[in-house]
Amino acid sequence: MDYPHRRYNPLRREWVLVSPQRTARPWQGEVSGASGFSAVHYDPDCYLCPGNRRAGGVVTPQYDSVYIFDNDYPALLPNAATGVLETPAGGRTELLVAEPERGRCHVICFHPDHSLTLARMELISIRRVVDAWMEEYRLLGEEFRYVQIFENRGAMMGASNPHPHGQIWATEHVPNEPAAETAALEEYHRAHGSCLLCDYARHELNESARVVCENDSFLAVVPWWAIWPFETLVLAKRHLRSLLDFGEAERDGLADLLKQVTTRYDNLFETSFPYTMGFHQAPCDGRPHEEWHFHAHFYPPLLRSATVRKYMVGFEMLGMPQRDITPESAAERLKGVVGEHFLDRDS
């Protein structure tokens, strides 16, 4: 489709505007490089490197694998006040509503080597991260209703430190995005008697136009409804509600797929590709959530080069999201880059 059209996102029950006619050649123009990688294996000024001092005088231990700790500047507190908040000065009204929110915020260091990223880590090291994510989801899910695992990669996406790490926030209530997906998945299951993302994964595998890479357990696609230029959706091929449903094959498969996707991102513009990545999985509220299907979202901002990004402004903030390159062309571009990381080609 080379004309303006809109595509429906069944997970959010929202639309995105696609305007492929705005650029006849999506990759034309200057392609500037910026490696974004650190050559330093240990940074004495990095508070996430082993042995260094963090906020409040806490010393990061000499860890040699995955290291998890309570965020020194958490957005949520486990002992936040409960009950009704102070009444607004103008009196109580349904238009001014607030309530307490308890939670925990953990930081997970993927590896002690400051220079690495998921794309540059060995599969066995990424597998250790997957195992740690699984255990965190289990433990935090015993106390809170939702566990959001995510990674902000790169300064462009607000990462305050280049050391390989992510975050895990556990919340008393299900946040907006997974709550919206829960409602959509439940409605689809009632209407069709099947899983929305199982059906979608089968369709993508049959059509293959938007499939970027896959293995026996997972596939990565540029979704039909993608908003960001090189957005990808990682889907479990089996109906798995959460990390707790993973067998050994799925744990290995997720590690492999994450490495495949992040390597292709880096190779696209030969840079440490920035993104926000996170898992969406069943809430921990005691319900069976048979409608839920484990998946991961990658939201990268880059558009044409290592330094040219997509901005969500104007019509996108006031109207609806809009993209110029089609998801099919983005998938073709990602699929076309070699699977070996560009920094390893000459090694």
Which residues are catalytically annotated?
Answer: 165
Q: Which two tokens stand for residue 13?
A: 């029950």
- Count of CB atoms situated within 10 Å of the CB of 145: 17
- Count of CB atoms situated within 10 Å of the CB of 124: 10
If you write DSSP's letter for every residue of 2-15 in order, what string do you get? Answer: -S-EEEEETTTTEE
Q: Residue for token digits 């479990």?
A: 236
Alpha helices in 80-119 (DSSP H): none
Single-letter code of the amino acid located at 94: E
If you write DSSP's letter for every residue of 8-58 in order, what string do you get? Answer: EETTTTEEEEE-GGG-SSTT-S-----------S--TT-TTSTT-B-GGGP
Instruction: Please name which of 278, 296, 286, 292 lies closest in space to residue 141, comparing C-alpha atoms.
Output: 286
Instruction: Please name which of 90, 143, 116 lies closest in space to residue 286, comparing C-alpha atoms.
Output: 143
81 by Cβ neighbours in 10 Å (0-12 / 13-18 / 19+) ranks as exposed
User: Do 25 and 37 touch, CB atoms closer than 8 A?
Assistant: no
Instruction: Please name which of 294, 287, 282, 288 lies closest in space to residue 239, comparing C-alpha atoms.
Output: 294
